[in-house]
Amino acid sequence: MGVKLLLENDHIEGIRYYETYRKNGGYRAAEKALKMTPDEIVEEVKKSGLRGRGGAGFPTGMKWSFLAKPEGVPRHLVCNADESEPGTFKDRYLMEFHPHILIEGLLISSFALGSNATYIYIRGEYAWIPDILEQAIQEAKNNGWLGKNIQGTGFDCEIYVQRGGGAYICGEETALIESLEGKRGNPRMKPPFPAIQGLWMRPTVVNNVETLAAVVPIINIGGEEYAKIGVGRSTGTKLLSVCGNVKKPGVYEIDMTISVEEFIYSEEYCGGMANGKKLKACIPGGSSVPIVPANLLLKTAKGETRMMNYESLSDGGFATGTMMGSGGFIVLDEDQCVVRHTMTLARFYTHESCGQCSPCREGTGWMYKVLKNIEYGKGKMSDIDLLWDIQRRIEGNTICPLGDAAAWPVAAAIRHFRDEFEWHIKNPEESQRRNFGLAHYADPIHVPAGA
Partner 1 sequence: MSEATPKFKVTIDNITVEVAPGTTILNAARSIGGDVTPPAMCYYSKLPASGGKCRTCLVEVSKGSEKDPRPMPKLVPSCRTTVMDGMEVKNITSDKVLDARKGIVEFLLLNHPLDCPVCDQAGECDLQNLSYEHGTEQTRYDFPRRTFEKEDLGPNIQLHMTRCILCYRCVFTAEQLTQKREHGVLERGDHAEISTLLGKSLDNEFIGNIIDVCPVGALTDKTFRFKNRVWFTKPVDAHCSCTKCSGKARLWMRGDEVYRVTARKNEWNEVEEWICNECRFERKNAKDWVIEGPSKIKRSSVISQGHYVGTKPTPVVIDKVIGKEPKFLMNIHDVSDVNKPEIELSRIPGPAHSDDFKGNK
Q: Which residues have C-beta within 8 Å of that of residue 443, sequence separation ≥ 6?
A: 295
Minimum Å gap between C-beta 216 and ligand SF4 is: 32
Does 55 interact with ligand FMN (rule: CB under 6 A)?
yes
**Which partner from the list ligand FMN, partner 1, ligand SF4, none does 393 bind, CB cut-off 5 to 8 Å by kind?**
partner 1
Residues 183-242 that bind partner 1 (CB under 8 A): 184, 189
Minimum separation from the CB atom of position 430 to ligand FMN (A):
37
Among 108-116, 215-223, 322-330, 388-396, the segment contacting partner 1 (CB under 8 A): 388-396
Pick between residue 80 and residue 186 the one whose CB is nearest to partner 1. Answer: 186
Identify the bridge partners of residue 315 per DSSP, sorted by sequence position.
none
Cβ pair 321, 315 in contact under 8 A:
yes
Smallest distance from partner 1 to CB 58, Å:
16
In the complex with ligand FMN, which residue's Cβ is closer, 374 or 400? 400
Out of 86, 293, 401, 409, the residue judged to bind ligand FMN by CB under 6 A: 401
Binding of residue 178 to partner 1 (CB under 8 A): no
Judged by CB under 8 A, the residue of 353, 384, 414, 417 near partner 1 is 353
- Other Cβ atoms within 10 Å of 138 Cβ, number: 12
DSSP letters for 236-283: S-EEEEEEESBSS-EEEEE-S-SBHHHHHHSTTTT-SBGGGPPEEEEE
Give dist(CA 211, CA 329) in Å, integer.
18
Nearer to ligand FMN, 60 or 391 (CB): 60
Q: Report if residue 285 touches ligand FMN, rule: CB under 6 A.
A: no
Query: Considering beta carbons, is residue 208 or 245 the nearer one to ligand FMN?
Result: 208
- Binding to ligand FMN (CB under 6 A) within 171-200 occurs at 171-173
Segment contacting ligand FMN by CB under 6 A, of 23-31, 68-76, 137-145, 399-407: 399-407
Task: Determine, following the binding rule CB under 6 A, whether residue 42 of this chain makes contact with ligand FMN.
Answer: no
- Does 398 bind partner 1 (CB under 8 A)? Our answer is yes
**What does DSSP say about strands 279-283 and 328-333: parallel, antiparallel, or unpaired?**
antiparallel
Find how far residue 138's CA is from the centre of its chain.
Answer: 28
The verdict on 359 binding partner 1 (CB under 8 A) reads yes
CA 65 centroid distance within chain:
22
**How is the beta sheet containing 115-122 ordered, strand by strand?**
158-163, 115-122, 75-81, 204-208
Q: Compute the distance between CA of residue 217 and CA of residue 211 in angstroms, rounded to an integer.
A: 11
For strands 238-244 and 230-231, give the pairing.
unpaired
Which residues within the stretch 236-275 sit at the binding site for ligand FMN (CB under 6 A)?
Answer: none
For ligand SF4, the binding residues (CB under 6 A) are: 169, 187, 353-357, 360-361, 398-400, 402-403
| Near partner 1 in 3-42, by CB under 8 A | none
- Conformation bin of residue 439: beta by default, left when phi > 0, alpha when psi is -120 to 50: left
Nearer to partner 1 by C-beta: 197 or 336? Answer: 197
**Between 99-113 and 209-221, two packed helices, what is the crossing angle to 10 degrees?**
80
CA dist 399 → 188, 207, 214, 410 (Å): 8, 20, 30, 19
| Helices 209-221 & 28-35 angle (0-180, nearest 10) | 70
Q: Which is nearer to partner 1, 84 or 300 (CB)?
A: 84
CB 331 within 8 A of CB 273: yes
* Residue 27 half-sphere exposure toward CB, CA atoms < 13 A: 23
Distance of CA 346 to the CA centre of its chain: 19
Q: Does 366 bind partner 1 (CB under 8 A)?
A: yes
Nearer to ligand FMN, 55 or 409 (CB): 55
Give me the amino acid identity at 444: P
Kindly tell me which of 391 and 431 has the beta carbon lying closer to ligand SF4. Answer: 391
Nearest distance in Å: CB 326, ligand FMN: 7
Indicate the residue among 104 and 352 with the shorter CB distance to partner 1.
Answer: 352
Q: How many Cα atoms are found within 13 Å in the side-chain-facing hemisphere of 194? A: 21
Closest contact distance (angstroms) between CB of 82 and ligand SF4 is 13
Q: Which residues pair with 253 in a beta bridge?
A: 239
Catalog residues that contact ligand FMN under the rule CB under 6 A.
52-56, 58, 60, 63, 80, 82-85, 168-169, 171-173, 206-208, 211, 400-402, 405
Catalog residues that contact partner 1 under the rule CB under 8 A.
167, 169, 184, 189, 350-359, 361-366, 369, 386, 389, 393, 396-399
